[in-house]
């Protein structure tokens, strides 16, 4: 049982480049989330999805886009990377009372 899988684990981007962070889950969860975690801080919600074809903005959506074409996949797209997007990104999926299950995170550095 793989759970939530994120790729890549590490990435360095140059300012202005774009990239997609991949997230897939095999637990058939409808709910999926993207968070960013800055050093020594909590998790801030970027986008979430309650099912295939449905996405909505979280607390800090600017500079990001998402799509949810299938239940399993929830990729996060960064357009025109900026130094302020240097962070650790977590993808999670949940089923109510079971809680959220997290991927291992992607450490992104924008230089």
Partner 1 sequence: AQTVTQSQPEMSVQEAETVTLSCTYDTSESDYYLFWYKQPPSRQMILVIRQEAYKQQNATENRFSVNFQKAAKSFSLKISDSQLGDAAMYFCAYLNQAGTALIFGKGTTLSVSS
Binding site residues, partner 1, CB under 8 A = 30-31, 33, 35, 37, 41-43, 45, 48, 50, 56, 88, 90, 92, 94, 96-102, 104-105
Closest CA to 47 of 18, 75, 10, 87: 75
Instruction: Please identify, using beta-carbon distances, which residue of 16 and 51 lies nearer to partner 1.
Output: 51
Instruction: Please identify, using beta-carbon distances, which residue of 10 and 16 lies nearer to partner 1.
Output: 10
Closest separation between CB of residue 42 and partner 1, Å?
4
Which contiguous run of DSSP H or E holds residue 48?
A: strand 43-51
Instruction: Please identify, using beta-carbon distances, which residue of 37 and 86 lies nearer to partner 1.
Output: 37
d(CA 57, CA 45) in angstroms, rounded, equals: 8
Closest CA to 98 of 5, 37, 29: 29
> For residues 59 and 51, is the Cβ–Cβ distance under 8 A?
no
Closest separation between CB of residue 105 and partner 1, Å?
5
């Amino acid at each position: 049982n793989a759970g939530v899988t994120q790729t890549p684990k590490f990435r360095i981007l140059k300012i202005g480049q774009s990239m997609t962070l991949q997230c897939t889950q095999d637990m058939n969860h409808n709910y999926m989330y993207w968070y960013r975690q800055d050093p020594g801080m909590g998790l801030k919600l970027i986008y979430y999805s309650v099912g295939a074809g449905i996405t909505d903005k979280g607390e800090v959506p600017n500079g990001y886009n998402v799509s949810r074409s299938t239940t399993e996949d929830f990729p996060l797209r960064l357009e025109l990377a900026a130094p302020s997007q240097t962070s650790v990104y977590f993808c999670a999926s949940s089923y109510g009372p079971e809680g959220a299950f997290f991927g291992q995170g992607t450490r992104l550095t924008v230089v």
